[in-house]
Amino acid sequence: MLGAIVLSLAALFLALALVLRQRAGLPWGRIAATDVGVGRPLERPLVAARYRLTGKPDYLIERGGVLIPVEVKPGRQALQPYDADLMQLAAYCLLVEETTGRAPPYAVLRYANATFRLEYRPDVRRRLLALIADMHALLDADDVARSHDDPRRCAACGFRGVCDDALADG
Ligand code: SF4
């Protein structure tokens, strides 16, 4: 009798785990690490020192000995993934590649209404590396022109007190 109860509790927890995983849009595989409070926490950000890149995906799912990054944006609804989100996924793939020595074949992006998959192909990797190089060039430059005309962005920006281009008072 006790055995039957233990078994049915185990089955219940398994069913619950499957439902939660399905709701989160996670691919099947062991959750190796997570940054959102379920499972083993990802204690430190992943670091790719030679690209001066760091970051923490919401989940790392282990499939066949490879870690698959998963990013969940529950407040976002769209029929197509935003390009910036895809580049974020590509950056996580690069971080996994650099920290484990094994490049993920893909990464997963979950919106409130849809799940997308980014294949981590050589052209995606090349595009990401070009983007990282551009970003570092901007960060290293002494003077960078403002890229927008939106005072609200400046009002919410932590640099407005020292920024000569700010459209809002510091
Ligand atoms: S305050 Fe300067 S750095 Fe910040 S958003 Fe505005 S222009 Fe950009």
User: What confidence tens digit (pLDDT) does each residue in 77-129 have?
Assistant: 999 999 989 999 999 999 999 999 999 999 999 999 999 999 999 999 999 99
| Ligand 1 centroid – CA 75 distance (Å) | 25
Q: What pLDDT score does 88 carry? A: 92
157 CA closest ligand 1 atom index:
4
Q: Is 150 in the pocket of ligand 1 (CB under 6 A)?
A: no
160 CA closest ligand 1 atom index:
1
The contacts of residue 15 (CB under 8 Å, 6+ apart) are none
Q: Which helix (H) or strand (E) holds 144?
A: none
CB 68 within 8 A of CB 104: yes
Kindly state the percentage of the chain with pLDDT values over 70.
Answer: 76
Q: What pLDDT score does 156 carry? A: 81
Q: Is 156 in the pocket of ligand 1 (CB under 6 A)?
A: no
Residue with CA at minimum distance from ligand 1 atom 3: 159
Q: Which of 148, 150, 160, 164 to mutate to test the pocket of ligand 1 (most atoms within 8 A of CB)?
A: 160
Tell me the pLDDT band of 36, cut-offs 50, 70 and 90.
low
Average pLDDT, the chain: 82
Quickly tell me which residue has 């990401």 as its tokens.
128
**pLDDT digits over 46-74, tens only?**
999 999 898 889 999 988 889 999 999 98
Q: What pLDDT score does 153 carry? A: 87
Name the more confident of 29 and 58.
Answer: 58
CA 63 to chain centre: 17
Residue 48: which of 109, 105, 90, 84 has the closest Cα?
A: 90
**pTM score, two decimals?**
0.70
| Ligand 1 centroid – CA 158 distance (Å) | 8
Q: What pLDDT score does 81 carry? A: 95
